């Protein structure tokens, strides 16, 4: 049995995979407990189209020391964020994270790394990408999470650090077709050394992303990170018709910049999962619907979970049915 959880973390990403082996994989982390200002304002405008929430109401909520989520609940939005650290503590108490995969070095994919360690979660293997990014911090906590990330990637935290490319084979990745061996069914579609070189030269950290392909008992899931056109061009050129999957986690939070028509056509997913707080201005959800009728957003469905049984049967469910 495999369980994949696409956590509702607002503006950011976090996916947790419980493998048939019992090992846990976490891909990215965003540890917010409340919706960010822009997400709350946009959701409020959706709930009250003729009378949208304004900045004064949101600021008043903050000054009154209650959350944006509490304010939105007064207007019928009862979907709470899932805190990844609390989720692990409740669902998998005491179990180590066998592999933590930092898809790429953007802060909305790593906020919460410091909290992860402070809560006692052990990381055995730490997947990282090659880069020399210097971040811009938005909040004081960002600096702490970046320091935590730097300590992991410099092998100062006790975890084994791996920087892996497409095609590099090991018992733990890129050679486990059934998902029942040591590799837990994980394949790396990107990056390659060439993709990393071009992304570094252009300072496009999105294209440093791990693009992952998970399979178990014939069920396939693609996790797109924040990959953009150049990455998908390479993936399509290399894999072609072999890209077919059942579930796709949309690249770059469902933005048009992460949408690649040919790749999505080849993948032809039955379900596309979008991890998002606020709907991006260049949202590509309708484009995804052309190749798979079900596009589920964490913003409206909360945490989304995929369960795959040992006979290859799969069910997908959401925390909030809408």
> pLDDT tens digit string along 59-92?
665 555 456 666 676 666 778 889 999 999 999 9
Angle separating helix axes 37-47 and 55-63, nearest 10 degrees: 120
Q: Take residue 231 and report the two structure tokens written for it.
A: 């990455």
The pTM of this model reads 0.91
Inform me whether the pLDDT recorded for 159 exceeds 80: yes
Average pLDDT, integer, range 223-251: 97
- Do 3 and 306 form a contact (C-beta atoms < 8 A)? yes
In percent, the amount of the chain with pLDDT more than 70 equals 87
Phi, psi of 304 (to 5 degrees): -110, 135
Average pLDDT, integer, range 11-24: 96
Average pLDDT, integer, range 204-213: 97
Inform me whether the pLDDT recorded for 48 exceeds 70: no
Q: pLDDT-derived band of residue 2, with 50, 70 and 90 as boundaries?
A: very high
- From the number of C-beta atoms within 10 Å of its C-beta (0-12, 13-18, 19+), residue 19 rates as buried
pLDDT tens for 108-157 read 999 999 999 888 889 999 999 999 998 889 878 899 999 999 999 999 99
Task: Tell me which residue of 82, 97, 89, 96 sits closest to 14, measured CA to CA.
Answer: 82
- Compute the distance between CA of residue 248 and CA of residue 295 in angstroms, rounded to an integer: 9
Which pLDDT does position 236 carry in this prediction? 98
Q: Write the CB contacts of 3 (distance below 8 Å, at least 6 apart in sequence).
A: 17, 18, 305, 306, 307, 308
Q: What does the domain layout of the chain look like in residue ranges?
A: 2-33+81-314
Average pLDDT, integer, range 170-195: 93
Higher-pLDDT residue of 67 and 225 is 225
Which pLDDT does position 33 carry in this prediction? 66
User: Three-state DSSP class for 240?
Assistant: helix
Q: Is the backbone of residue 184 left (phi > 0), alpha (psi -120 to 50) or beta?
A: left
Which pLDDT does position 80 carry in this prediction? 85
Phi, psi of 242 (to 5 degrees): -75, 0
Which pLDDT does position 119 carry in this prediction? 84
Q: pLDDT-derived band of residue 43, with 50, 70 and 90 as boundaries?
A: confident
User: How many helices and strands in the chain, by DSSP H and E?
Assistant: 11, 14
Lowest mean pLDDT among 17-26, 45-54, 149-158, 281-290: 45-54
- Do 299 and 279 form a contact (C-beta atoms < 8 A)? yes
Inform me whether the pLDDT recorded for 212 exceeds 80: yes
Which pLDDT does position 31 carry in this prediction? 81
Query: What is the CATH class of 2-33+81-314?
Result: alpha beta
């Amino acid at each position: 049995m495999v369980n994949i959880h696409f956590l509702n973390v607002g503006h950011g990403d976090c996916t947790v995979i419980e493998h048939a082996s019992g090992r846990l994989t976490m891909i990215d982390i965003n540890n917010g407990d409340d919706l960010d200002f822009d997400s709350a304002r946009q959701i409020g405008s959706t709930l009250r189209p003729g009378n949208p929430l304004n900045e004064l109401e949101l600021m008043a909520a903050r000054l009154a020391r209650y959350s944006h989520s509490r304010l939105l609940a007064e207007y019928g939005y009862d979907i709470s964020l899932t805190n990844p650290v609390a989720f692990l503590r409740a669902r998998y108490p005491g179990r180590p994270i066998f592999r933590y995969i930092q898809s790429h070095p953007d802060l909305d994919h790593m906020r919460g790394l410091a909290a992860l360690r402070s809560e006692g979660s052990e990381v055995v293997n730490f997947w990282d990408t090659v880069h020399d990014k210097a971040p811009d911090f938005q909040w004081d906590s960002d600096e702490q999470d970046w320091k935590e990330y730097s300590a992991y990637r410099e092998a100062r935290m006790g975890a084994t650090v791996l920087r892996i490319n497409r095609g590099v084979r090991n018992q733990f990745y890129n050679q486990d077709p059934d998902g029942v061996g040591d590799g837990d069914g994980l394949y790396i579609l990107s990056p390659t050394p060439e993709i990393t070189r071009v992304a570094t030269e252009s300072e496009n950290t999105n294209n440093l992303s791990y693009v992952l392909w998970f399979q178990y008992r014939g069920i396939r899931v693609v996790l797109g990170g924040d990959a953009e056109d150049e990455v998908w061009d390479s993936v399509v050129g290399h894999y072609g018709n072999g890209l077919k999957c059942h579930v796709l986690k949309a690249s770059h939070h469902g933005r048009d910049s992460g949408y690649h028509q040919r790749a999505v056509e080849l993948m032809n997913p039955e379900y596309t999962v979008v991890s998002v707080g606020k709907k991006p201005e260049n949202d590509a959800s309708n484009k995804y619907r052309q190749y798979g009728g079900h596009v589920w957003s964490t913003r409206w469905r909360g945490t989304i979970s995929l369960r795959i049984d040992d006979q290859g049967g799969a069910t997908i469910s959401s925390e909030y049915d809408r």
